[in-house]
A = this chain, B = another copy of it.
Amino acid sequence: MPSAGHSAAPTGFAYLGPEGTFAEAALAHLTRSLGAVDRSAQPQPSVGAALAAVRSGACRAALVPMENSVEGSVPATMDGLVDGDPLVVTREVFLPVGFVLAVRPGTTTGQVRTVASHPHALAQCRARIAEVLPGAEVVPTASTADAARRVAAGEHDAAVCAAIAAERYGLDALVADLADHPGAVTRFVLVEQPGVLPEPTGADKTTVTAVIADRTGALLDLLAEFALRGISLTRIESRPTRERLGVYSFSIDCEGHVADARVGDALAALHRLCAEVRFLGSYPRADDHPGKPVDEHVGDDAFAGAQAWLTRVREGRAV
> Which residues in A have some Cβ–Cβ distance to B below 8 Å?
1-2, 45-46, 48, 67, 69-73, 75-76, 78-79, 86, 88, 118-120, 123, 126, 138-142, 181, 183, 194-197, 214, 216-217, 219-221, 223-228, 230-233, 235-240, 242, 245-246, 258-259, 264, 267-269, 271-273, 277-279, 288-289, 292, 297-298, 302-303, 305-307, 309-310, 313-314, 316-319
Contact = CB atoms under 8 A, between A and B. Distances in A.
A73 to B, nearest CB: 6
Given A197-B314, A228-B269, A233 B245 contact: no
Contacts of A267: 310, 313
The prevalent SS among residues of A at the interface is mixed
| Copies of this chain in the oligomer | 4
A224 B228 contact: yes
A271 B216 contact: no
Contacts of A79: 70
B71 A75 contact: yes
Nearest to A74: B72
Contact of A126 (B48, B67, B245): B48
Given A223-B223, A297-B272, A194 B75 contact: no
A235 to B, nearest CB: 5
Contact of A318 (B2, B118, B224, B302): B2
A305 B276 CA distance: 13
Contact of A141 (B70, B140, B297): B140
A203 B14 CA distance: 47
A246 B123 CA distance: 26
Contacts of A302: 272
Given A72-B72, A86-B318, A236-B236, A310 B225 contact: no
Given A216-B232, A272-B302, A319 B278 contact: yes
A76 B221 CA distance: 31
A119 to B, nearest CB: 6
Contacts of A1: 318
Contacts of A279: 313, 319
